[in-house]
Amino acid sequence: MTYFAVVDCDNCYVSCERVFRPDLKDKPVVVLSNNDGCLVARSNEAKKMGIKAGTPYFKLAQQFPGQDIAVFSSNYELYGDLTGRVMTILGQESPEYFRYSIDEAFVILKGMETVDLKAWGENLYKTIRQWVGIPVSIGIAPTKTLAKMASHFAKHHAGYRHCCMIDTDEKRVKALKLFPIDEVWGIGRRFTAKLKGLGIYTAYDFASRSPEWINATFNKVVVTRTWKELNGVDSVPNEEAAKKKSICVSRSFPGMISDPGLLKTYVSNYAARCSEKLRRQNTVASVVGVFLNTNFFRDDLDQYSNFGEVTLLTPSNSSIVIVKKALECLDKIYKPGYLYKKAGVIVISIQGSDSIQTNLLDFDPERYEKMKNLDKIVDRLNKVEGSETVIIGTQQFPRKAGSEKATQFADAIKREFKSPNYTTRWSDIIKLR
């Protein structure tokens, strides 16, 4: 039987910050979202203090006055580099793996039938811990859903030495009984309410129902699949788990914005980022969506939020196309008279760029090639000469009075507590006394 492993970086962003700040080892540490909005990562010490996920930063000092909490703005350049190193090690230590998110990967342990997998996992933990400095939790089981569950146990119980393996039916049943249904991989939040209504609280309550009951009650392929996986039958295709189905770039604005011109500038930048990400993973998207909302924390102001999307006739990853479509969406949903706090661009229905289904009415091969070359050159210039060397006109922020150069997108984000880019900029490498 082929086993699957889930490798998950513990409190990823916090762990990345701690690599270069060993003094914060046992201290409460939190990392803020873009523009220092709210908490996106907490150390175990912070969790123990009762600091909740998603707490707005301005409330932290009110709720925990006088407490010594280390606060960082998010430094994705650093997190991207360090987690990339973790993935490289995974590639060397495993037959096949795919990255599932920034801090998480699945490993397919095929051809390792004779290997002591528990020892393999414990050893992998040690290697990553020493080489990169980040702690990971590893779950091993016959299905991806059970492996995810096992990684939870590895994370929360020191006795597993960072690696929990479900390899007997006895262990599987024991794990299912201890596991809340809402934490099962693939069970959505909305779905949990329905399950609890039916008296299903643990993964065991769900998995021990008959397949007929599951089909009759839910009649949904994904639900049946999760049920099978919990019962030890591999049912989630690798390709499906590997593929990123959407890319979203969204930020809170540094202040509140009513000016439609400035909104366009932000949305253009988010859209350009999305298309860069698509190109980096050699994919194209066929739906572009934009959302926009006011400040929910300000009860005293009028509230509005909306989402709009357009479908592309030919899937694309061209900056010019994605930005143009995103601005069309913005036009559809923008309403004057509100103070906006956040916007985001999401590209959906992503596929490989090598096999694009073209639309005859829309597709012009010569123009397509030209755009592709243009993006390639722009990407290269922005890589060599620094990001935002070449941008689309609508990405340009207005020049501040008295300033020679226009503000760049990277500088338009508020990052008051950002750590140095220890691994990606020579100016920021650690100092050795």
Identity of the residue, 298 or 383, whose beta carbon is nearer to other proteins in the bound complex: 383
Query: What is the smallest separation between the CB atom of 99 and other proteins, expressed in angstroms?
Result: 15
Q: 367-426: which residues touch other proteins (CB under 8 A)?
A: 380-381, 383-385, 422-423, 426
Return the structure tokens found at 81.
């580099």
Is residue 134 a contact partner of residue 15, using CB atoms and an 8 Å limit? yes
Residue 429 sits in the site that holds other proteins (CB under 8 A): yes
**Count of Cβ atoms closer than 10 Å to residue 36 Cβ:** 21
Query: What is the smallest separation between the CB atom of 67 and other proteins, expressed in angstroms?
Result: 20
Is residue 195 a contact partner of residue 170, using CB atoms and an 8 Å limit? no
Residue 185 sits in the site that holds other proteins (CB under 8 A): no
Judged by CB under 8 A, how many residues of this single chain contact other proteins?
24
Identity of the residue, 20 or 64, whose beta carbon is nearer to other proteins in the bound complex: 20
Q: Which of 62, 114, 130, 355 binds other proteins (CB under 8 A)?
A: 130
Return the structure tokens found at 70.
């280390």
Distance CA 282, CA 354 (A): 8
Q: 224-283: which residues touch other proteins (CB under 8 A)?
A: none
Query: What is the smallest separation between the CB atom of 385 and other proteins, expressed in angstroms?
Result: 7
Q: Which of 22, 65, 159, 197 binds other proteins (CB under 8 A)?
A: 22
Identity of the residue, 158 or 384, whose beta carbon is nearer to other proteins in the bound complex: 384
CA distances from 278 to 10, 91, 247, 368, 375 (A): 27, 22, 8, 16, 12
Identity of the residue, 122 or 428, whose beta carbon is nearer to other proteins in the bound complex: 428
- With CB under 8 A as the contact rule, which of the stretches 43-51, 124-132, 189-197, 357-365 interacts with other proteins? 124-132
Q: Collect all residues with Cβ–Cβ distance below 8 Å to 171 and sequence separation of at least 6.
A: 165
Q: Which of 7, 132, 163, 278 binds other proteins (CB under 8 A)?
A: 132
**Going by DSSP bridges, is the β-strand pair 39-42/29-32 parallel, antiparallel, or unpaired?**
antiparallel
Which one, of 399, 65, 330, 127, lies nearest residue 51 by Cα? 65
Helix (H, G, I), strand (E, B) or coil at 10: coil
Distance CA 347, CA 8 (A): 26
Identity of the residue, 316 or 423, whose beta carbon is nearer to other proteins in the bound complex: 423
Q: 354-373: which residues touch other proteins (CB under 8 A)?
A: none
Query: What is the smallest separation between the CB atom of 415 and other proteins, expressed in angstroms?
Result: 22
* Residue 427 host element (H or E): none
Residue 133 sits in the site that holds other proteins (CB under 8 A): yes
Residue 157 sits in the site that holds other proteins (CB under 8 A): no
Identity of the residue, 71 or 390, whose beta carbon is nearer to other proteins in the bound complex: 390
Identity of the residue, 239 or 404, whose beta carbon is nearer to other proteins in the bound complex: 404
Query: What is the smallest separation between the CB atom of 158 and other proteins, expressed in angstroms?
Result: 20
Identity of the residue, 20 or 417, whose beta carbon is nearer to other proteins in the bound complex: 20
Return the structure tokens found at 45.
């010490």
Residue 13 sits in the site that holds other proteins (CB under 8 A): no
Residue 126 sits in the site that holds other proteins (CB under 8 A): no
Distance CA 388, CA 426 (A): 19
**Count of Cβ atoms closer than 10 Å to residue 241 Cβ:** 13
Which contacts of 60-67 are long-range, i.e. CB under 8 A and separated by 24 or more positions?
Answer: 60/30, 67/28
Q: Collect all residues with Cβ–Cβ distance below 8 Å to 201 and sequence separation of at least 6.
A: 180, 181, 195
- With CB under 8 A as the contact rule, which of the stretches 36-44, 131-139, 273-281, 284-292 interacts with other proteins? 131-139
Residue 85 sits in the site that holds other proteins (CB under 8 A): yes
Helix (H, G, I), strand (E, B) or coil at 361: coil
Distance CA 46, CA 60 (A): 11
Footprint on this chain of other proteins (rule: CB under 8 A): 22-23, 85-86, 88-89, 127, 130-133, 380-381, 383-385, 422-423, 426, 429-433
